[in-house]
Amino acid sequence: MSSVITFSPAHTIVPTYECFNRCSYCNFRLDPEENNLLTKSKLLNILKQLDSKRVAEILILSGEVHPQSSQRSQWFAKVKQTCDIALSLGFLPHTNVGPLSWSEMKQLKKVNVSMGLMLEQINPKFMKTVHKYAPSKEPELRSQQLEWAGKLNIPFTTGILLGIGETQSDIADSLQEIARIHQKWGHIQEVILQPHSVGTRQKLDFPSFDPQQLPAIIAQAKTILPSGIAIQIPPNLIPDASFLLECLGAGATDLGGISPLDEVNPDYPHPTYESLSAILQPAGWSLKARLPVYPQYFAWLPADLQKAIAKKKKSLIWKN
């Protein structure tokens, strides 16, 4: 009997690449003059070209607008509009757009089957280094978001960033913070172990994470995180096939959203379902599509979102 590794058949929508943060390693952000908010017509054009029988998740990933900015309400309306339109076309939204207010989270809960925010690292020392010009990366603010998601019963994805100068102790502390919050609220469905990978957009000469450390960190996460939390790794950032299998053997259980473009790491194309299967099946792994919300959380969602999930489960066609 084969072991199962899951993935989400996904497509990413970016309302804007503009961001008031300036993380030293970022390969996502563009300056304000280079981009504006995604128009409704362009959004519709993108979504209508997708095959709703082959794509389950619409990941709404955005640059951040300052909470006090005069553009915040317009930006938030665009994020919500993206969710509304995605739902109307038979997709399941998952929003990850940076820290939100309590009111914003409550509104997006109604139109998202799950949401997410990377914790990154809990040690505040990074606010003096890679996050020096990134106010929303304040660890207390990010922990608060995880707490609020729990209080609001929002199925949630979080994760840690690797390769930004963290120690083994920093990694353990960050994983323990995630575990602590989950033990209170039970809402964290997956944790991403995200290796920083050098890209052409980053401003500083910042090296990639050493991937040889990843299996040990996966094993460490497995011992710290509650057993119900999936451990996710991005396959496009794993250097070769045998190493991917080593990571799965260490305890990784999910490969995240597989879409045409990794917007966070645009220099590293996602593998296809077929190419991943060619690696996994001979080694005894079965690649299985999943929805962006895990089954144990279906009952948490509003009735209309539960209906959307039921419809998607019937219509989604994928080789499993």
Percent of the chain topping pLDDT 90: 83
For 40-88, what is each residue's pLDDT tens digit? 999 999 999 999 899 999 999 999 999 999 999 999 999 999 999 999 9
Query: Is residue 211 very low, low, confident or very high in pLDDT (cuts 50, 70, 90)?
Result: confident
Q: Cα angle at 66 between 14 and 126, to 5 degrees? A: 90
Q: What angle do CA 230, 115, 187 make, to 5 degrees?
A: 50
**What is the rounded (10 degree) CA torsion for 241, 193, 166, 177?**
-160
Per residue in 116-163, pLDDT (tens digit) is 999 999 999 999 999 999 999 999 999 999 999 999 999 999 999 999
- Rg (the chain; Cα; Å): 18
- Answer for the pair 134, 23: CB distance below 8 angstroms, yes or no: yes
Distance in angstroms (rounded) separating the CA atoms of residues 273 and 279: 10
Please tell me the least confidently modeled range out of 24-33, 69-78, 186-195: 24-33
Fold category of 3-309 in CATH: TIM Barrel (3.20.20)
pLDDT grade for 32, boundaries at 50, 70 and 90: low
Query: Domain residue spans in the chain?
Result: 3-309
Least confident of 172-176, 229-233, 277-281: 277-281
> Which tokens sit at 74?
């317009």
DSSP 73-142: HHHHHHHHHHHHHHHHTT-EEEEE-S---HHHHHHHHTT-SEEE---B-S-GGGGGTTTTT-GGG-HHHH
Specify the pairing of strand 3-13 against strand 254-258: parallel
The structure tokens listed for 29 are 């952000």
Least reliable range by pLDDT among 165-169, 187-191, 201-205, 310-314: 201-205
Rounded average pLDDT over 247-270: 91
Can you tell me the distance from the alpha carbon of 212 to that of 125, in angstroms, rounded to the nearest whole number? 25
Which of these ranges, 166-180, 235-249, 295-309, has the smallest mean pLDDT?
235-249
Q: Say yes or no to pLDDT of 167 above 90.
A: yes
- Residue 206 confidence (pLDDT): 75
pLDDT at 2: 59
pLDDT at residue 320 greater than cutoff 50: no
